[in-house]
Structure 1
Amino acid sequence: MSTAASAEQVRIPWKGDYPHNSIKHWSKDNPYDSGFSKNFKNGAPEEFGEVQKDGELNVFIYSPKDAKGPVPFVVVLHGCDGLSTLTKEWTQHVADVLNGQGIGALVLDSFTTRYVDNSCGLADLHWGRRRSDDAYSALDYLIEKKLTKADEVYVMGYSNGGTTALVSMTSQENDHRHRFAAAFAIAPGCSPSLQHSARYTGPIIVFMGDHDDANNPNWCEELAKTKRSAPVQMIEYQGANHGFPVNAPAHDFMGWHLSYSPAAEKDMMQTIISAIRTKHFAKGIEIR
């Protein structure tokens, strides 16, 4: 992968004091609704039951070289295993491609400052909701620092980060002062309990392989088929699996098959850049 992009690492304040959130802590009887929390740590098993009201998040900001003034920015979200070495390489590659087109990237680390190792497994919906406020904290930071304009920030996430990107576009998040211009959800969890009844407030593109055995492509197809006021498109890559965007040797993780598809990954990045440039979004399912 390219390593041309270089990052500024900073800590940003986490913001969670919104009407859609609650002070209820995580419990085994209420594992998902507790994702909407006013607490930085909310007692989830991945947090070893710890509760903490305030906190900060690590972010890595990649700005295009010679950028003068605000530029479009993408908030990039990792998957359930956090910013592992492999994920860091992937996010740096994403930033490099975006920077080359005059677009900034903010890579957001949801886990390190919470001392979370991973969220892989049943807590997916909880962390999709928790991390949505992480993403909005990053959006607010970019606008406050005048690195971008309020209507030119996009959210892009992989796997659990993709689920987070979908949550970020729901009407439940309407109490944020600023909103994302659109979401790019890569191999997300489109579980019916989370997504099919959701009202989305902005454009979404879902990118997925038809051989994904970590998150069900059929659920995402149903998501894209549902009539909505906001455009939701699913781009489905034939022969690709859950690992298609990450340049790594084929391997299994958590029982899932992961292998890189350079053609699908390149097409995905070109599609994202085109959508940011043209602000044009389609509806429905497209097979590629």
Structure 2
Amino acid sequence: MRLLLTALLVLSFDAAQAEPTEVKIPWKGDYAHNSSKHWSKDNPYDSGFSKNFKNGTPQEFGEVQKDGELNAFIYSPKDAKGPVPFVVVLHGCDGLSTLTKEWTQHVADVLNAQGIGALVLDSFTTRYVDNSCGLADLHWGRRRADDAYSALDYLIDKKLAKTDAIYLMGYSNGGTTALVSMTTQEADHPHHFAAAFAVAPGCSPSLQHSAVYRGPIIIFMGDQDDANNPRWCYELAKKKRSVPVQMIEYQGANHGFPVNAPAHEFMGWHLSYSPTAEKDMMQTVVSAIKTKKFAKGVESR
């Protein structure tokens, strides 16, 4: 009887988990803000605004490819009827690693329980990129913005998402991408994100301080982050802007705060889970999507 009960509990737990639908998303990059200039060591960042799916970076082994497609995993809320609010979720510099897959599954479960869909986007597999880890990567932040917009267009084309209720959420390099995606430089896309949630992003001055944003942004950051400098995000959020940009800084948390994994080091960065900060972050994201209310400035939690 105990074995049967255990089996039933396992089956019940598995049934409660969102089962994603894997899809291929056509990549779109033929926009006025992009160019056909290939990556070079003399021009490592501007070439991020590229009309090429592969643009010759070292991570791509120098290959250039005009067209391509991206893998994505769609988690729709149970019993969803018609278009619903959706969040496009972006991985960090190490791609969809095992830990990142677990994190994105968790994000999807939390969102789905609130009637919100999630599309987890894989920027690296179809480009045969292992990772882009290192200094805050402006090139890949820019390249992946068009990935995010390709996913947004897909959700609209397939009538899965409400056109005015598609949000962007990215972790680490994905967070940097979320910031880039909200700039007016990306305004030539036909559709736009309602807001962005940037988790532990790179807010380097060369990337963001002169940026003009076209929609609300919430930055979630640990004050002990030694991978991306919290001070730069603080300065970004403090700058006067025409749209709400808020930084929520978690005390005692580091770069790994949203990912439920044992404490460890990666690339010399300290990574450890903060369940309190992670729970607060997800509650804040859900609340912002449901109320459409966004604040400005810096808040310490």
Same fold per superposition (TM over 0.5):
yes
The one-character-per-residue Cα deviations of 1:101-131 (angstroms, maximum 9, x if unpaired) are 0000000000000000000014711000000
Does the C-alpha gap of structure 1 residues 122 and 241 become closer, same or farther in structure 2, counting only changes over 3 Å? Answer: closer
The one-character-per-residue Cα deviations of 1:136-163 (angstroms, maximum 9, x if unpaired) are 0000000000001211100000000000
Answering whether residue 217 of structure 2 is matched by residue 204 of structure 1, we say yes
Q: Distance in 1 between matches of 2:249 and 2:103?
A: 20
Contact 1:231 1:282 (C-alpha < 8 Å) held by counterparts: yes
1:133 corresponds to which of 107, 129, 146 = 146
Q: Which residue of 2 aligns with 1:229?
A: 242
Q: Which residue of 2 aligns with 1:67?
A: 80
Contact 1:43 1:51 (C-alpha < 8 Å) held by counterparts: yes
Q: Distance in 2 between matches of 1:233 and 1:105?
A: 23
Q: Identity, % of aligned pairs?
A: 85
Contact 1:18 1:176 (C-alpha < 8 Å) held by counterparts: yes
Deviation at 1:2, TM superposition (A): 11
Contact 1:158 1:186 (C-alpha < 8 Å) held by counterparts: yes
Does the C-alpha gap of structure 1 residues 64 and 284 become closer, same or farther in structure 2, counting only changes over 3 Å? Answer: same
Answering whether residue 53 of structure 2 is matched by residue 40 of structure 1, we say yes
Answering whether residue 161 of structure 2 is matched by residue 148 of structure 1, we say yes
* Structure 1 portions without partners, runs of 5+: none
Q: Which residue of 1 aligns with 2:122?
A: 109
Contact 1:59 1:106 (C-alpha < 8 Å) held by counterparts: yes
Q: Distance in 2 between matches of 1:120 and 1:193?
A: 18
- Counterpart residue type for residue 154 of structure 1: Y
1:220 corresponds to which of 230, 233, 255 = 233
Contact 2:36 2:52 (C-alpha < 8 Å) held by counterparts: yes
Answering whether residue 202 of structure 2 is matched by residue 189 of structure 1, we say yes
Contact 1:31 1:123 (C-alpha < 8 Å) held by counterparts: no
Contact 1:2 1:93 (C-alpha < 8 Å) held by counterparts: no
The one-character-per-residue Cα deviations of 1:137-196 (angstroms, maximum 9, x if unpaired) are 000000000001211100000000000000000010000000000000000000000000
Which TM-score applies when normalising by structure 1? 0.99
Contact 2:60 2:129 (C-alpha < 8 Å) held by counterparts: yes
Q: Distance in 2 between matches of 1:47 and 1:12?
A: 19
Q: Distance in 2 between matches of 1:123 and 1:195?
A: 12
**Matched ranges for 1:1-288 at <5 A:** 4-122=17-135, 124-288=137-301
Q: Distance in 1 between matches of 2:18 and 2:275?
A: 20
Q: Distance in 2 between matches of 1:30 and 1:216?
A: 24
Deviation at 1:61, TM superposition (A): 0.1
Q: Distance in 2 between matches of 1:245 and 1:201?
A: 26
The one-character-per-residue Cα deviations of 1:39-87 (angstroms, maximum 9, x if unpaired) are 0000000000000000000000000000001100000000000000110
Q: Distance in 1 between matches of 2:145 and 2:93?
A: 14
Runs of 4+ more than 2 Å apart: none
Contact 1:235 1:287 (C-alpha < 8 Å) held by counterparts: yes
* Structure 2 portions without partners, runs of 5+: 1-13
Which TM-score applies when normalising by structure 2? 0.94
The one-character-per-residue Cα deviations of 1:244-274 (angstroms, maximum 9, x if unpaired) are 0000000000000000000000000000000
Q: Secondary structure at the match of 2:273?
A: coil
